[in-house]
């Protein structure tokens, strides 16, 4: 079975987790090690947790349980490597262990010399373990259904195998192996791409296809099992001889909990379809999770079902942004699940209408495991990048290195891509305004990681700018739907000046820099952020305005580094270390 029943009797030997943070030969000055911490979300260190337990831009989760370990995938569009993989022993504390797609290798628009795959790439997927092989399925809206496989969850992963073309499918595949019948299935939101005039129900069609037992080929034309407005993100389970399809659905209308009622506020709920007869139905339908008081009426849906060793049931799901100051991305929440007359109630039924709402604070499902979180800090002492880092599109591998200067990350500058058709995002395709034609979106080898939480955070990085060349710009970036930069620009005469760049590409030129060393610090309180700089790492001076970090185009704010050249492939910067403190759980890592 896809999730819990299938894996109950499976035991496999897993390789030792590889750490994304590498502490060998820690620098003599700069960061030191910190102790694990708790904060305003996640594990509270007292046997409870506060939602969101993964308060960062980890959207579209799916979870596979193997033995005593839970594995999660989440989408990340055009970021490379794609489809992050995380693991947990207690459903609350998650660490990043890899990506299912080392490169977005199936289409040229994701390469560094095109960078016009914005908004596409890896969308919501499905992770499964079947007969000794790991599978990750996803649909690239521009290309179709694909699967990648591996013998070890940490890779290597195969080149994607294309299974259905984009002309037939929209998004959100999920698979199921039925060991009783020896048949394998995948359910897919096909949207309106195959919709016949005879189907007068408004919304998306969801079809179940039969697959080959090895999970790599589609064997039939598919059968329609459900239609609903915005119906997507289905997951199939078989529990106590009943078929269940968990599905998210957009609803529009008043406060009604019924599926398919129109609402200009664009709410999303979690549905469950149930059938005793067949995987194809017929199905009864109920709403089992809706927005409640815990998150200021943010919509809640789309995720995966899990079971703890004590046989209790739990559900991981994302929050959707529909608030004035939203979460920075789509974070993950953990909910208890209770069963009433064979139907699940996700969360706690706070208004006694038979439908669950998200919890704020709750008892942990499994005790005894330490506080942990995705890695963030880095001293770049390894010869491979930590799993917290992702590139904006596939990188130009000849233009970055962790070995040319051991202990430092070197980013070489490529000439900015032309502002022409086929390069960079279309106007308003990616950014929240007409800043889409700014150079930043066409600069290869921008490297970044997610911001954590929505209260406070401070990141610091140490740069060596002695390798810069004329017409080069390099430094620190915060970006999601919009970008804000603080860095150094070298003019055609070799003069270096500090500069700040806003989302429209407009610059504020700062003082001339005579030092080869630059420290950049950025802090945020909620969605308001600032930059500071220093030449000695002790005295910092503010530079640039207070700016707004904005959720946009289904992504939240990120922290990272940029380096490009306006005229030629020339120049580089080196980054010694990066630290990030925030109001949330964090394992022992580097500390400034």
- Comparing C-alpha atoms, which of 119, 203, 114 is closest to residue 423? 114
The 10s digit of each residue's pLDDT in 127-148 is 999 999 999 999 999 999 999 9
What are the CA-CA distances from residue 571 to residues 40, 400, 413, 419, 567 (Å)?
42, 11, 5, 21, 11
Q: What is the predicted pLDDT for the residue at 5?
A: 36
Asked if 243 and 275 count as a contact pair (C-beta separation under 8 A), the reply is yes
- Domain at 390-591, CATH class: mainly beta
Identical fold between 4-8+65-363 and 390-591? no
List CB contacts of 311: < 8 A, sequence separation 6 or more: none
- pLDDT of 299 reads 87
- The per-type count for the chain, helices as H runs and strands as E runs, is 1, 42
What string of DSSP letters covers 468-492? Answer: --TTEEEEEEEESSSEEEEEEEE-T
pLDDT at position 20 is 31
Asked if residues 78 and 425 have their Cβ atoms less than 8 Å apart, the reply is no
Q: Cis omega before residue 81 (within 30°)? A: yes
- 7 membership: H or E segment, kind and range: helix 4-7
d(CA 63, CA 149) in angstroms, rounded, equals 16
CA dihedral 207→208→209→210, nearest 10 degrees, is -170
Tens-binned pLDDT, residue by residue, of the chain (592 aa):
444 333 332 222 222 223 333 333 333 345 555 677 999 999 999 999 999 999 999 999 999 999 999 999 999 999 999 999 999 999 999 999 999 999 999 999 999 999 999 999 999 999 999 999 999 999 999 999 999 999 999 999 999 999 999 999 999 999 999 999 999 999 999 999 999 999 999 999 999 999 999 999 999 999 999 999 899 999 999 999 999 999 999 876 545 555 555 555 678 899 999 999 999 999 999 999 998 888 877 789 999 999 999 999 999 999 986 555 667 889 999 999 999 999 999 999 999 999 999 999 999 999 999 999 999 999 999 999 999 999 999 999 999 999 999 999 999 999 999 999 999 998 777 776 778 889 999 999 999 999 999 899 999 999 999 999 999 999 999 998 899 999 999 999 999 999 999 999 999 999 999 999 999 999 999 999 999 999 999 999 999 999 999 877 788 999 999 999 999 999 999 999 999 999 999 976 555 5
pLDDT of 21: 30
Take residue 96 and report the two structure tokens written for it. 């990043």
Q: How many CB atoms lie within 10 A of CB 521?
A: 21
Q: For residue 233, what pLDDT is reported?
A: 97
The domain segmentation of the chain, as residue ranges, is 4-8+65-363, 390-591
Give the C-alpha distances (Å, rounded to integers) separating 506 from 74, 485, 538. 34, 10, 29
What pLDDT does 251 receive?
73
What SS3 string covers 30-86? CCEECCCECCCCEECCCCEEECCCECCCCCCCEEEEECCEEEEECCCECEECEEEEE
pTM (two decimals):
0.92
The pLDDT, as a whole number, for residue 263 is 53
From the options 1.10.10.10, 3.20.20.70, 2.115.10.20, 2.40.50.140, give the CATH code of 4-8+65-363: 2.115.10.20
* R_g over Cα of the chain: 24
**Residue 387 to residues 57, 85, 444, 484, 543, Cα–Cα distance (Å):** 14, 9, 19, 24, 31
> DSSP assignment of 476-533, as one string?
EEEESSSEEEEEEEE-TTS-EEEEEE-TTS-EEEEEE---SEEEEEEEEETTEEEEEE
- Closest to 5 in 3D by CA, of 48, 92, 52, 65: 65
């Amino acid at each position: 079975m896809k999730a819990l029943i299938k894996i109950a009797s499976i035991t496999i030997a897993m390789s030792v987790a590889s750490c994304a943070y590498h502490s060998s030969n820690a620098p003599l000055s700069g960061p030191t090690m910190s102790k694990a911490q708790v904060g305003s979300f996640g594990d509270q260190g007292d046997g409870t947790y506060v939602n969101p337990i993964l308060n960062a831009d980890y959207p579209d989760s799916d979870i596979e349980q193997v033995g005593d370990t839970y594995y999660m995938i989440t989408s990340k569009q055009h970021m490379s490597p794609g489809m992050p993989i995380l693991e947990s022993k207690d459903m609350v504390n998650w660490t990043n262990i890899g990506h299912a797609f080392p490169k977005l290798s199936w289409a040229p628009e994701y390469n560094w010399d095109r960078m016009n795959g914005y908004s596409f790439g890896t969308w919501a997927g499905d992770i499964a373990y079947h007969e000794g092989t790991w599978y990750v399925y996803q649909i690239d809206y521009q290309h179709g259904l694909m699967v990648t496989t591996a013998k070890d969850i940490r890779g290597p992963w195969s080149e994607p195998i294309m299974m259905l073309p984009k002309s037939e499918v929209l998004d959100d595949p999920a698979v199921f192996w039925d060991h009783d019948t020896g048949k394998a299935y995948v359910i897919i939101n096909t949207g309106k791409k195959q919709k016949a005039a005879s189907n007068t129900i408004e919304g998306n069609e969801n079809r179940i296809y039969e697959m080959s037992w090895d999970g790599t080929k589609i064997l039939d034309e598919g059968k329609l099992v459900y239609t609903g407005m915005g119906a997507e993100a289905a997951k199939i389970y078989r529990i106590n001889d009943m078929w269940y399809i968990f599905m998210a659905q957009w609803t529009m209308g008043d406060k009604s909990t019924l599926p398919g009622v129109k609402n200009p506020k664009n709410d999303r709920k979690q549905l469950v379809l149930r059938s005793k007869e067949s995987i194809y139905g017929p199905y009864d339908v109920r709403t089992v999770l809706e927005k409640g008081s815990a998150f200021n009426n943010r919509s809640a849906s789309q995720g995966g079902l899990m079971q703890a060793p004590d046989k209790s049931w739990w559900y991981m799901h994302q929050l959707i942004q529909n608030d004035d100051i939203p979460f920075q991305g789509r974070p993950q929440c953990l909910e208890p699940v209770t069963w009433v007359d064979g139907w699940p109630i996700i969360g706690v039924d706070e208004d006694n209408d038979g439908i669950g709402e998200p919890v704020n604070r709750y008892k942990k499902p499994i005790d005894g495991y330490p506080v942990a979180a995705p890695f963030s800090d880095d001293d770049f002492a390894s010869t491979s990048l930590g799993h917290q880092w992702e590139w904006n599109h596939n990188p130009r591998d000849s233009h970055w290195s962790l070995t040319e200067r051991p202990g430092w990350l070197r980013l070489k500058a490529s000439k900015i891509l032309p502002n022409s058709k086929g390069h960079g995002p279309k106007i308003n395709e990616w950014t929240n305004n007409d800043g889409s034609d700014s150079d930043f979106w066409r600069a290869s080898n921008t490297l970044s990681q997610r911001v954590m939480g929505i209260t406070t955070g401070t990141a610091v990085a140490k740069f060596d700018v002695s390798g810069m060349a004329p017409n080069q710009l390099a430094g620190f970036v915060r970006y999601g739907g919009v970008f804000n930069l603080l860095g150094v620009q070298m003019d055609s005469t070799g003069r270096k000046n500090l500069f700040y760049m806003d989302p429209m590409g407009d610059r504020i030129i700062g003082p001339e820099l005579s030092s080869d060393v630059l420290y950049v610090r950025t802090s945020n309180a909620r969605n308001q952020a600032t930059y500071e700089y220093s030449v000695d790492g002790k005295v910092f001076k503010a530079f640039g305005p207070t700016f707004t970090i904005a959720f946009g185009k289904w992504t939240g704010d990120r922290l990272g580094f940029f380096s490009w050249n306006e005229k030629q492939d020339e120049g580089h910067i080196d980054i010694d270390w990066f630290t990030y403190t925030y109001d949330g759980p964090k394992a022992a890592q580097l500390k400034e």
